[in-house]
Structure 1
């Protein structure tokens, strides 16, 4: 089955590059292209592993980064009309600076809209319509980089593990892994993704990862991202799985209102707590 989920943490390849730059406090005029290229390619490759939609612009940016990296390794660099060496990163820097300006402009427009949306000038009373709640499912965002980092971590363990003997091919389905996770949460309310997948096959890991994304999309579980290492926890969402798991309402309500509000906005909780 071709199962695809569109994750929108990053609005495009420049948004992803900007994330790397801000996270590592990199000078935009002196980007360590080898390091950034490696991280970008790992991200794109991990998305392909789980059949997530990878837009052509991400692939184009990956090719551009590789091209820049190759040019910087050449002994002779191109020069401009005045004989000064051209920095292969120049085009990328210009695109990033333009993107930052547009992004800041969008934030300014959104702030101005929020400040004035409830203000009406004289004569507009007849034009105001009653607000109707949208009927379509509300799109939310998850911390893609944190989830992908955890997936890469367990997949590396599979690749590094020495083969012992041949075994029959496993058949895992997303629905089956959802049932598996529900059963696991009946015994332990909070599960670590890495601990759940340790020693398992590549098929098990990828299908479990997709099952977690699907359960989060359906508001069945929380995804609690660990900021200290490449891992995340899952636990029942109070309006979803607690009934199926037989948990008492007061236990399910233990999750703070602050966390619920954050989940409603982003679909993920950031936490250093390991429960």
Structure 2
């Protein structure tokens, strides 16, 4: 798809109509993305969660329009699928934030004591 940001596009899965992600470093079901990251087979810092979110919103809006009477765009969102996306996306966001934040290794105990006293 030429209009997809950063090479990502959404696609219906042949299974339960699930959301699939196609990025430069990953292709497959969205929940598989979480599984690979949890098993340290894919680096979370290399995944654009904003792109994935934009693509999911477009995917859900497209599905809602298809479920609407006469395709007018006033259809109902699939609440279960949206809830599952939010669960996986929030878990990925938590993992990414933890990975990007400093680990807090203490090199000097005196500096730590000064910081604690200041706080």
Q: What TM-score does the superposition give when structure 1 sets the normalisation length?
A: 0.19
More helix by share: 2
When normalised by structure 2's length, the TM-score is 0.38
